[in-house]
Amino acid sequence: MDFMDFVPYILTFILGLNVLLALTIIFLERRDASATWAWLMVLLFLPIAGFLLYLIFGRRLSNKEIFTWDKKSRLGLLAAVQEQLQGIKEDTLKVQHPTMIQYEDLIYMHLKNNDALLSQNNEVEVYTDGQKKFHALIEDIEKAEHHVHLLYYIVREDNLGKRLADVLIRKAKQGVEVKLLYDDMGSRLLSRKFIRSIEKAGGEVDSFFPSLIPKVNLKINYRNHRKLAIIDGKIGYIGGFNIGDEYLGFNKRFGYWRDTHLRVEGEAVNNMQTRFILDWNQASRKDIMYDEHYYQAEPKGDVGMQIVSSGPDSEWEQIKHGYMKMIMAAKDYIYIQTPYFIPDDSLLDALRIAVLSGVDVRIMIPNKPDHPFVYWATFSNVGDLLKAGANVYIYQKGFLHAKTIVVDGNIASVGTANIDVRSFRLNFEVNAFLYHPETAGLLADRFHEDMEDSTELNYKLYQSRSTWIRFKEAISRLLSPIL
């Protein structure tokens, strides 16, 4: 028998494998219908490659593989959360700014489904330039006396990465507790030499969801996309910047890197610290035990804030729900900056309803892709909102990576979550929800400044796109639930 005689058997085997996998996707895995249909389409058109792609991108993990921590261990937060919930119910919660009263339902939701304690005594500095942000961060680390806790999705072993490593090594040798947690996929190019240099000085370095085979991590989903820095329990950083030279604007492909990051002083730092400790204890064999030295935040300023986290360890999409609640509360305007705009139907409907209700909805996206399918899916989605009457801006100065929403100059959200299914359901994210007109107004002003470096995409121009672009958009949109 020659090879051709085996072809029918091979095709039958592939067909049977595809049917088996399809049944697994439909009946054994709990996922939304749109993602199910997207994977079935991939299996239909790419019988062998589709199976491999599913193993890398689509396979769900068991609860044991994701997270095992006990929510009751949230370091004394639950009692304070219950007190604030009761205060809102009984209308006894005192607020710094009268405008906060109209957002008590948003505050209540974050308390209820995320234990996101509200603090109202914070001072916030906004950074949109990487060089300024990292200058401030390294300066704060240099002054650290007790501990430096860092969590970043991407840590590059380039000039910025080595600069940061140098200061961490120096502080560790001085007796300061240094802990660096990175995501094993995002930082897959990080060398053992880099890690050992920090560990040799007395620091601790660990990775989130590591692969059994070094440098080969096939677990594309369930990544820790958070970016947090806590210094001495008094200063915290949260936002979109990772650690690498491209975030300073030194990558020729992307050019200037436009992001948004916050430097926080005040009691919200305690909540950021708890988030870091929970993530560290999950990833490391050396748990951080409770110590009052980790919680040294002092009241400073009048910014109201909740630190909200989400991820596949929860049945709720907390950050997405926060976005939707903000959108539904809008009366005047909604400003959104995001590198990827791939909302699910619920979020897209909320924005469409806002536009049709007379709310000024403005969405700013980058002018260049870092992921082609995501880029064209983004254009397909903004096209829907253009038709409804939204305003869409294409940032031209460089690459827009900010994850920012501002509503009515009263509230805002800044953090790590993009507007896409991956951020809402598959990755671990963290955002700061801000209840402070001055800070929200500052972020709105930054949006207006970025409009000067953007071109507006109107519906007529969008309709004139070529057939080839329409085809790429159509394919990308079909795949968007699994991107």
pLDDT of residue 231: 98
| pLDDT band, very low/low/confident/very high, at 169 (cuts 50, 70, 90) | very high
Q: Is the pLDDT of residue 37 over 50?
A: yes
Q: What is the CATH number of the domain that holds 283?
A: 3.30.870.10
Kindly report, residue by residue over 135-162, the tens digit of the pLDDT: 999 999 999 999 999 999 999 999 999 9
Question: Is residue 71 in some structural domain?
Answer: no
Q: Among residues of the chain, what percentage have pLDDT more than 70?
A: 80
Question: Is residue 447 in some structural domain?
Answer: yes
Looking at the structure, tell me whether residues 207 and 295 fall in a common domain. yes
Looking at the structure, tell me whether residues 211 and 356 fall in a common domain. no
pLDDT of residue 241: 98
Looking at the structure, tell me whether residues 360 and 445 fall in a common domain. yes
Tokens of 476: 């990308």
Looking at the structure, tell me whether residues 294 and 388 fall in a common domain. no
Domain limit, last residue, from 60, 77, 99: 60
pLDDT of residue 87: 94
Kindly report, residue by residue over 359-403, the tens digit of the pLDDT: 999 999 999 867 767 777 887 888 899 999 999 999 999 999 999
Looking at the structure, tell me whether residues 261 and 406 fall in a common domain. no
Looking at the structure, tell me whether residues 55 and 194 fall in a common domain. no
pLDDT of residue 38: 60
The span from the CA of 10 to the CA of 338, in Å, is: 45
- Phi first, then psi: give them for residue 138, nearest 5 degrees: -65, -35
Question: Is residue 458 in some structural domain?
Answer: yes
Q: Is the pLDDT of residue 69 over 50?
A: no
Looking at the structure, tell me whether residues 294 and 198 fall in a common domain. yes
Kindly report, residue by residue over 396-406, the tens digit of the pLDDT: 999 999 999 99
- Phi first, then psi: give them for residue 251, nearest 5 degrees: -95, 120
pTM of the model: 0.87
Looking at the structure, tell me whether residues 255 and 157 fall in a common domain. yes
Question: Is residue 322 in some structural domain?
Answer: yes
Looking at the structure, tell me whether residues 328 and 462 fall in a common domain. yes
Q: Among residues of the chain, what percentage have pLDDT more than 90?
A: 66
Tokens of 453: 């470096």
Tokens of 371: 């992921």
Q: Is the pLDDT of residue 320 over 60?
A: yes
| pLDDT band, very low/low/confident/very high, at 476 (cuts 50, 70, 90) | low
Question: Is residue 79 in some structural domain?
Answer: no
| pLDDT band, very low/low/confident/very high, at 11 (cuts 50, 70, 90) | low
Mean pLDDT of the chain: 87
Domain limit, last residue, from 303, 333, 348: 303
pLDDT of residue 14: 62
Domain extent for 450: 318-482
Q: Which residue has the higher pLDDT, 346 or 36?
A: 346
Q: Is the pLDDT of residue 358 over 80?
A: yes
Looking at the structure, tell me whether residues 323 and 457 fall in a common domain. yes
Q: Is the pLDDT of residue 422 over 50?
A: yes
Task: Residue count of the chain, please give it.
Answer: 483
Number of domains within the chain: 3
Tokens of 206: 């660990």
Task: Name the residue type at position 226.
Answer: R
Question: Is residue 166 in some structural domain?
Answer: yes
Looking at the structure, tell me whether residues 244 and 385 fall in a common domain. no
Q: Which helix (H) or strand (E) holds 87?
A: helix 77-89
Q: Which residues are catalytic?
A: 225, 227, 232, 401, 403, 408
Looking at the structure, tell me whether residues 129 and 271 fall in a common domain. yes
Question: Is residue 312 in some structural domain?
Answer: no
